[in-house]
Amino acid sequence: MSDEPVPGSDPDELLDEAGRARRRFLRLVAMGVGAGLTGSALVEAVASQVPGLSTDVAAAALGPHEGILIVIGMYGGNDGFNTVIPIADAAYRAQRGSLAIDARTALRLNQTTGLHPALGTLKREWDAGRLAIVEGVGLPDPDLSHFTSMAHWMSGHATGVGVGSGWIGRWLDAKPGGRTNADLGVSIGSQVPLNMIGRERRAVSIPTGSPGFGGGIEPADQRLYGAVHAMAAPGARGRWDAALSGALRDQVDLAGRLRTVLDKPAPGPLAGQLDAVARLINADLGMRVFDASWGGFDSHAGQPWMHTARMQEFDAGIKRFFEVLDPRWAGRVALMTFSEFGRTSHANGSDGTDHGTASCALVVGAGVRGGMYGQRPALTGLGRWDRPAYHVDARSYYASLLDGWLGGGSTEVLGRPYEDLKLFGSSPKSG
């Protein structure tokens, strides 16, 4: 009925002043400031609004074959069987009862497979050969606790979760020195999930949304904000005193800058995030990995409306992303989904399903080699509380993305070699 918290979080106030200035800059760009400008031209245009912004904030532009990966987390346990539907499987129909999606309303991909009816954009990507569907993804010794399973999926390490870091974070760690982590990894929202946290580096979190306190224009307000700065100045403080002070200063500064930006209507929980991701990519600031995630997938009851709403949000997100993304970046981006587990194949009598194991993952992008991968979990003969076996190790899924799109190094990141599913037919390139 409700999702677990995600492991990891970003105490953003632990950044130094330069890091915080960069973060303010990124937030402005994510909200649409300087749209149409890129790289150093963008920095120049916005720098006047962000005191303390250093000139090297525009990291080197992407190399000719450097790709961008967007991680889309579905928190709570997405129902893979109703996302990628085994439309010809009698066991699916029998075990799902009224929760089974009718083969006539599913968006037909082939004789045995359909997509959830809400996934019209994904269907168009499939038709264009830009959607890879990996079935039967899971992990050995599956844990059915949200928190534990999510930690395993986010860690993605051969030795399990004890490493305390996430797979994208470790990819950031492996990047050559001289570039701050903020150059390369961004998590949309006010938290950084574990998968974006490495041993030394981590993505920076960029919240989006309206600015709030600090946008007053009266002279007395401005004097007040000066007092806030003085009161909350960095100095000899306890850790949490300092964290609170930093957050307050940050808020006041940012609100002042953001009040001139028009508020856009919120297009949906994922679409709003992917809108910001697209804007940051368009700005050509050198970022390689993004995280845009949302919850509400734990459909123990009321699955018909709950899961449909999530699928509508998912589809709207992908649609919005490509609407905002400058077409010249289309060949550089790949979007991938994951969830901490699937659902039981049997419905549970509350119009819902319980925590499962093997499920599907989707990858979208111009460089993707469209088609079906992995192996569909067998449902025949499964008892009420049996969970289907997985066929593709999640770490193999990650290896395929690291090696196929992010330039390699999966063995180091994941702790040992994993099979590459060869999800990509071409390498990243500008359009």
Partner 1 sequence: MGSSKEGAIAVADIEDIRHLLRRTEFVARPERVRALGKLSYSAAVANVLSVPTADRTAPVPRALDADHRSGTSWGEYQAAVHWWTDRMAFDAKRPIQERLALFWHGHFCSHWQVVDDTRSMMRQNAAFRAHGLGNLRTLAHAVTRQPAMLRYLDNDRNRKASPNQNFSRELLELFVLGVGNYTEQDVEAATAAWTGHGIDRDSRTYTFRAKQHDTGVKTFLGQRGHWDGPDIIDLVLGARPGAVVSVGPDAGQPAPVVAARFLSRKLWRSFVSETPSDKVIKHLGQVLVSNNFEIAPWVGAMLRHDSFRSAETRAGLVRTPIEYIVALLHASGRRAAEINPEWFAEGMGQALFGPPNVSGWGTNGYWVNSSALGARAAFANHLRWKLTKGRDQNNSLKLAAGSWKWSAELDALPPEQLIDTLAGALLVPLSRTSRDAMVSWAAAEQRKWGPDWWRSTNALLLLMIAPEMSLA
Q: Are 170 and 413 in contact (CB under 8 A)?
A: yes
Among residues 13 and 135, whose Cβ is nearest to partner 1? 13
Q: Residue 294 is inside which H or E element, if any?
A: strand 294-295
Among residues 135 and 250, whose Cβ is nearest to partner 1? 250
Among residues 24 and 391, whose Cβ is nearest to partner 1? 24
In angstroms, the CA 115 to CA 371 distance is 13
Amino acid occupying residue 326: D
Among residues 225 and 405, whose Cβ is nearest to partner 1? 225
Among residues 63 and 234, whose Cβ is nearest to partner 1? 234
CB atoms within 10 A of CB 36: 11
- Least distance (Å) between residue 243 CB and partner 1: 5
Q: Can you read off the two tokens belonging to residue 111?
A: 């004789």
- Please measure the distance between the N-terminal and C-terminal CA atoms of the chain and give it in whole angstroms: 43
Query: Phi/psi class of residue 227: alpha, beta or left (left: φ > 0; alpha: ψ in -120 to 50)?
Result: alpha
- Least distance (Å) between residue 380 CB and partner 1: 21
- Least distance (Å) between residue 84 CB and partner 1: 25
Interacting residues toward partner 1 by CB under 8 A: 1-5, 9-13, 144-145, 147-148, 190, 205, 207, 209, 211-214, 220, 223-224, 226-228, 230-233, 235-241, 243-245, 247-248, 250-252, 254-255, 295, 300-301, 348-350, 352, 354-355, 384-385
- Least distance (Å) between residue 373 CB and partner 1: 29
Closest by CA to 307, choosing from 75, 83, 71, 6, is: 83
Among residues 73 and 286, whose Cβ is nearest to partner 1? 73
- Least distance (Å) between residue 9 CB and partner 1: 6
- Least distance (Å) between residue 54 CB and partner 1: 20
Q: What angle do CA 339, 141, 75 make, to 5 degrees?
A: 15
- Return phi, psi of residue 400, to 5°: -60, -35
Among residues 384 and 416, whose Cβ is nearest to partner 1? 384
Among residues 27 and 157, whose Cβ is nearest to partner 1? 27
Among residues 40 and 148, whose Cβ is nearest to partner 1? 148
- Least distance (Å) between residue 220 CB and partner 1: 4
- Least distance (Å) between residue 3 CB and partner 1: 5
Amino acid occupying residue 206: I
Long-range contacts of 305-311 (CB under 8 A, 24+ apart): 306/352, 307/78, 307/79, 307/82, 307/116, 308/116, 308/118, 310/74, 310/78, 311/83, 311/116, 311/117, 311/118, 311/119
- Least distance (Å) between residue 354 CB and partner 1: 5
Dump the DSSP string for 377-395: PP-TT--TT--PPP-EEHH
- Least distance (Å) between residue 161 CB and partner 1: 11
In angstroms, the CA 257 to CA 279 distance is 18
Among residues 63 and 212, whose Cβ is nearest to partner 1? 212
Half-sphere exposure of 17 (CA within 13 A, CB side): 8
Q: Are 70 and 365 in contact (CB under 8 A)?
A: no
